Amino acid sequence: MIAVLVIDMQNAFFEEPALKRRQEEVVAACNSLTSAAREAGANVLLVGTQHERDKSTWSLNMLDDDQGFIFRGSEQANFVPGLVTADFPQMVKTRDSAFFGTDLGMRLRNWEVETVILAGVSAHNCVAQTAADAFAHNIRVIYAAEALATENPESAEAVLRVLTREYRQRVLPLDEVLKLLKGP
């Protein structure tokens, strides 16, 4: 089984100018991906980051800087306009990896998932950390190239190079991912 994970497609991340320029394009690619997954009967999970104002969920860098980010219920925490969210399950995370401190592993086991297709932001950070943890759970990873974005292309290229080489994960053009979802 295949599942599609759309990670951190939230207003807060698209405040970054480099991501803002690609927002419409990435949203369209994510929508194509989730639509194809729905048609193929594959599961889709929308993953978003949210924190509490009381610092109880803050990461070390947030605590060090005494600066919170993406508070529950804020406009920053909402998914970006145009992203199709209706009827898709959603999951909240507080760390870069969607596996850390969540029930993602259980969900994927319940869905009998062997491969995840990853989309969203940021390719060098939250997407990559989720991919590394998927490998640790013996789950194969495919990245939908046009449905990924980053504010740091050099870091994303370096991290994805390591993950594709060492963990045998694949970065595929969206049209190939869509064909893969449709099956033989």
Output the pLDDT for position 86.
Answer: 87
Output the pLDDT for position 26.
Answer: 97
Residue 140 has pLDDT above 80, yes or no: yes
Q: Give kind and range of the element (H or E) at residue 142.
A: strand 140-149
For the stretch 61-91, pLDDT in tens is 999 999 999 999 999 999 999 999 989 999 9
For the stretch 39-49, pLDDT in tens is 999 999 999 99
Residue 184 has pLDDT above 90, yes or no: no
Residues 35-53: b if buried by 16+ CB within 10 A, e if exposed? ebbbeeebbbbbbbbbbee
pLDDT band at residue 55 under the 50/70/90 scheme: very high
Residue 183 has pLDDT above 90, yes or no: no
* C-alpha torsion sign, points 12, 14, 17, 19: positive
Residue 76: is it exposed, middle or buried by C-beta count within 10 angstroms (0-12/13-18/19+)?
middle
* C-alpha torsion sign, points 33, 34, 35, 36: positive
Q: Which residues contact 77 (CB under 8 A, 6 or more apart)?
A: 10, 11, 12, 48, 49, 50, 70, 71
What is the mean predicted confidence (pLDDT) over 9-23?
95
**Using an 8 Å Cβ cutoff, are 3 and 108 in contact?**
yes
User: How far lies 3's CA from each of 59, 109, 116, 168, in Å?
Assistant: 28, 11, 5, 18
